[in-house]
Amino acid sequence: MKEVSEMNIPNGVWPTMVTPFTERNEIDYAALGRLIDWYLERGVHGLFAVCQSSEMFYLSPEERVRLAAFVKKRAGDRVPVIASGHVSDRFEDQEEELKRMADTGIDALVLIVNRFAAEGEPDDVLWRNLERMLDRLPRDVPLGFYECPYPYKRLLTPELLRRCDETGRFAFLKDTCCDRDQIGLKLRAVAGGSFKIFNANSATLLDTLKLGANGFSGVMANFHPELYVWLHEHWQDDPDEAELLGSFLGMTSLIEHQLYPANAKYFLMRQGVLSNCRTRVRGNEPMTSTRMLEVEQLERLTFRMKERLGIG
């Protein structure tokens, strides 16, 4: 079994990757290759493939597996790649999905918290189902957890997090509680253990870095990951600029509520990475002229902030 100390989960910025589609609504692997390179050119520390941003609930099992395998192969040894993708309701179907994903060679397999208990069921149900799954998953693959908001948001309590940490098999948490105090409690619960906690919320990010959070894994790394990289690397040595940048990131992250992930894909179109902003999750809901203008304004603000920080 791989020891926790050997798990390749570096601190830093882990984008929740979007999935480009062709005009025929198939995965666009040429664009996906460009996207991976775009992330890495901006200094990210790892990639989270096959997550909600990737529209995993709208991908077939074969597409999810092929997507993860492609990302891992393209990234190579430049950064580690983690992936999720167990979206079924039946335990046995989830087991099959997770084992197939583990076989792609990814660096860690990410479990979705809400898949182990129905909405309204107690944490005891979650823990029993998790223990069953741990017995069936390969022990040489490091594990993570994702507090996915869909189909309903279920958060890990500090106590559950501590119990998971004690198994010695977990190395990653994408935290979506959006509450710095709760993240502080979680950090204390796993202090000295293997779990690394990555905040998905931009507004609370800087405060949680000060509390000991390990980095950022959120949707805004699809717009300006280099700004999150700068914050992660410089919040201690340049606190005044970090405070300004933290406020900038918190306010600009409100665009998440516009028409994500189509708006992120439009931003990436303007960078020459993608050729369209097609999504499956949003269907035919349009990027209106006003929505496009808001993304273009974000692009201009991002450029100015990069100039200020000396980011090339």
Of residues 169, 166, 183, the one with CA closest to residue 218? 183
Q: What is the pLDDT of residues 61-81, one digit of tens each?
A: 999 999 999 999 999 999 999
Exposed, middle or buried by CB within 10 Å (0-12, 13-18, 19+), for 223?
A: buried
From the list 199, 261, 266, the residue with the least C-alpha distance to 235 is 199
Inside any domain, residue 222: yes
Q: Which domain holds residue 215?
A: 4-226
Q: Per-residue pLDDT averaged across 228-242, rounded?
A: 98
Question: Running DSSP on this structure, what letter comes out for residue 285?
Answer: -
pTM of the complete model beyond 0.85: yes
83 forms beta bridges with 49, 109
Q: What CATH number is attached to the domain comprising 60?
A: 3.20.20.70
pLDDT value at residue 8: 78
How confident is the model at residue 2, as a pLDDT?
Answer: 43
Within a domain: 155:
yes
pLDDT in tens, 137-195: 999 999 999 999 999 999 999 999 999 999 999 999 999 999 999 999 999 999 999 99
Res. 1 pLDDT band, cuts 50 70 90: very low
Domain membership of residue 231 (yes or no) is no
Q: What is the pLDDT of residue 283?
A: 76
pLDDT for 5 equals 44
pLDDT in tens, 81-134: 999 989 999 999 999 999 999 999 999 999 999 999 999 999 999 999 999 999
In the structure, what pLDDT confidence band is assigned to residue 307 with cuts at 50, 70 and 90? very high
Give the chain's domain count: 1
Residue 166: half-sphere exposure toward Cβ, Cα within 13 Å:
9
Residue at 308 is within a domain: no
pLDDT at 56 over 80: yes
In a domain, 304, yes or no: no
29/78 Cα distance (integer angstroms):
19
Taking only the tens place, the pLDDT of each residue in 191-214 is 999 999 999 999 999 999 999 999
pLDDT, tens only, 23-48: 999 999 999 999 999 999 999 999 99
Helix (H, G, I), strand (E, B) or coil at 25: coil
Residue 256 domain-assigned (yes or no): no
In contact, 147 and 175? CB cutoff 8 Å:
yes
> Which pLDDT does position 7 carry in this prediction?
66
In a domain, 288, yes or no: no
For 248-296, how does the pLDDT look when each residue is reduced to its tens digit (9 = 90+)?
Answer: 999 999 999 999 999 999 999 999 999 999 999 987 789 999 999 999 9
* Alpha-helix runs per DSSP H in 28-178: 29-41, 61-75, 91-102, 123-136, 158-166
Instruction: Look at residue 69 and tell me if it is in a domain.
Output: yes
